[in-house]
Amino acid sequence: KAGVTQTPRYLIKTRGQQVTLSCSPISGHRSVSWYQQTPGQGLQFLFEYFSETQRNKGNFPGRFSGRQFSNSRSEMNVSTLELGDSALYLCASSLKSSYNEQFFGPGTRLTVL
Amino acid sequence: AQSVTQLGSHVSVSEGALVLLRCNYSSSVPPYLFWYVQYPNQGLQLLLKYTSAATLVKGINGFEAEFKKSETSFHLTKPSAHMSDAAEYFCAVSEDGETSGSRLTFGEGTQLTVNP
């Protein structure tokens, strides 16, 4: 089985721009979660989608949004980028929501200049 | 609210020595606990998980962890370190799945260095 894939792997943007990151979960997995990883804040939960519905949301501003499609693929969008949004964005998928083992993708490294 | 504390942001051991990475959690309900490993420029890989079936959990690559409710701990150990174990390790907790879904709360991470 193919693992979780994330595109693009690297991205450079400037302040004020917006960006869309994509995540394809493992085949059959219906839950997709997003995390932000930075040296200062560590790993922080952004949101989780299950069957196209947002189940849970972390403590991030409204500039961070996401969605899930019927094939379980997910995208997250960050609008009006700030320097502090520079981070590794990790996507994780699991069979279903709750207690299931999460499989992580390699991440998208976003740099905001 | 749930939280995880990893004692020691950096741990250094010699090859062949015991690896001990500490994790303490705070949770208002019986938790599900996980250890993940992250190699440079990669995502997270699950080492092992505790889901209340057994207090001593064996994982991949020779790692194991023991859940101690009285100490609210879930320390990760490996009897003999290998050079390939050098990486960053994260302890994570997940609470009641019905309300929190698959949300993981991570510790700060411990960078493990293995010296030849």
Interface test mutation site (partner A, options B52, B88, B103, max chain A beta carbons within 10 A): B103
Considering only CB atoms, A99 lies closest to which of B41, B43, B51, namely B51
Nearest alpha carbon to residue A12 among A77, A92, A85? A85
* Mean pLDDT value across residues B18-32: 88
Mean pLDDT, rounded, of chain B:
90
Query: What is the spatial distance between Cα B88 and Cα B10, in angstroms, rounded to a whole number?
Result: 9
Considering only CB atoms, A43 lies closest to which of B41, B45, B106, namely B106
The pLDDT, as a whole number, for residue A77 is 98
The pLDDT, as a whole number, for residue B46 is 93
Nearest alpha carbon to residue A6 among A35, A44, A30? A35
The answer, for A43 touching chain B at a CB cutoff of 8 Å, is: yes
* Mean pLDDT value across residues A39-52: 93
B103 and A58 within 8 Å at the Cβ level: the answer is: yes
How many CB atoms within 10 Å of residue A47?
Answer: 23
Confidence of residue B2 (pLDDT cuts 50, 70, 90): confident
The answer, for B32 touching chain A at a CB cutoff of 8 Å, is: yes
The pLDDT, as a whole number, for residue A97 is 57
The answer, for A42 touching chain B at a CB cutoff of 8 Å, is: yes
**pLDDT tens per residue, range B36-79:** 999 988 899 999 998 877 889 999 999 999 999 889 999 999 99
